[in-house]
Structure 1
Amino acid sequence: MGGRLRFQRRGRTLWARITRVNGAAFGFSAPASEWLSLKESSPMTFTKKLRDPIMRGDITCSVRIWQSPRVKVGGRYRLGEGAVVVTSLRQIELTDITPQLARDSGFAGVVDLLKTARHGAGDKVYLVGFEYRPDTRF
């Protein structure tokens, strides 16, 4: 017999679980391992060209322009088969973005970085430090 897809919202995450009508897995009382986390839109998304270098550990920081912080230190954000884990977060000035920081973030220069970072209504600049963990379970 077919199942149903059930949803439950917890914070910014939508949790889904396929339930069986005639089985023990019916309802929301199943173990957490049977739930599937569906992030609506992860605040730590990366352009395709940056994903592989991040997963190799070549890139460990990102400059973000937001209205307010969208991540927290210790937060885990899915990328590939693992997750980016935020290790530091601090607000910086636009003038703090140097060519070296842009290169460390995976961009050719400051202008290249700002073309990607400047989207939306944000006006505060944040430097996010992170590390990639290949097998982090959600």
Structure 2
Amino acid sequence: MLLRRPTLDGIAAGEITCAFRRWERPRVRPGTRLRTAVGVLAVTAVDEVEPDALTTDDAAAAGQTLDDLRTMLARGSGPVWRVALHLDGPDPRIALRSADVRPEERTELDARLARFDRDHPWTAETLALIADNPGVRAPDLAARVGRETAPFKRDVRKLKELGLTESLEVGYRLSARGQSYLRG
């Protein structure tokens, strides 16, 4: 579920408590946790609603005017879903990426990266590429190693999950943890 930065900021401030979407069927369910730029969001409810029954209070809870909400919903087809959500805490990857790799973690990280490399070795090359080229666009990095952009970005997200890389406004860089890992 994609949310724009102003919406994320409103959720973090407690001013926005829901989002509305047109989906054939819900794409999230209560209990879903979404990692975002402002932290982890928790989905607490997903309810089908009638678009004509939406009120100004509903729109305000989504950080919109009623006219803007109806205009947005008019662009799609299918049922309208109200997704109730709130900020549930910081992104755990933030703390992870700022920590050095402890010796007992190195073995586990080595094993995870080896599993990633099983069919096609890419982790060492990608970590080195990002270390040498911070802030370079993903398509440019992917082209340097002869890869398609989408699979390259998926792989970088795997490294990000381990706290080894972090996204910049443009491109990536190694986190402190990633630098620690490469230093060995």
When the two chains are superposed, the root-mean-square deviation of aligned CA atoms in Å is 1.9
Distance across 2 between alignment mates of 1:89 and 1:58: 19
Distance across 1 between alignment mates of 2:11 and 2:35: 12
Indicate which of 26, 30, 37 corresponds to 1:80.
37
The secondary structure found in structure 2 opposite 1:83 is: strand
Would you say 1:91 and 2:63 are equivalent positions?
no
Unpaired runs of 5+ in structure 2?
93-160, 162-184
Distance across 2 between alignment mates of 1:106 and 1:81: 16
CA offset at residue 85 of structure 1? 0.6
Q: 1:119 to 1:47 in 2, by over 3 A?
A: farther
Other-structure match for 1:66? 23
The secondary structure found in structure 2 opposite 1:59 is: coil
Distance across 2 between alignment mates of 1:119 and 1:79: 25
Seq. identity, %? 28
Paired letter, 2:13: R
CA offset at residue 117 of structure 1? 3.8
Unpaired runs of 5+ in structure 1?
1-42
Other-structure match for 1:129? 84
CA offset at residue 88 of structure 1? 0.7
Between structures 1 and 2, the one with greater helix share: 2
CA offset at residue 119 of structure 1? 4.3
The secondary structure found in structure 2 opposite 1:101 is: helix
Between structures 1 and 2, the one with greater strand share: 1
- Bigger RCO (CA 8 Å, 6+ sep): 1
Other-structure match for 1:113? 69
CA contact (8 A) 1:66 1:123 kept: yes
Indicate which of 38, 53, 60 corresponds to 1:103.
60
CA offset at residue 46 of structure 1? 1.6
CA contact (8 A) 2:29 2:43 kept: yes
CA contact (8 A) 2:41 2:86 kept: yes
Would you say 1:57 and 2:14 are equivalent positions?
yes
Paired letter, 2:58: L
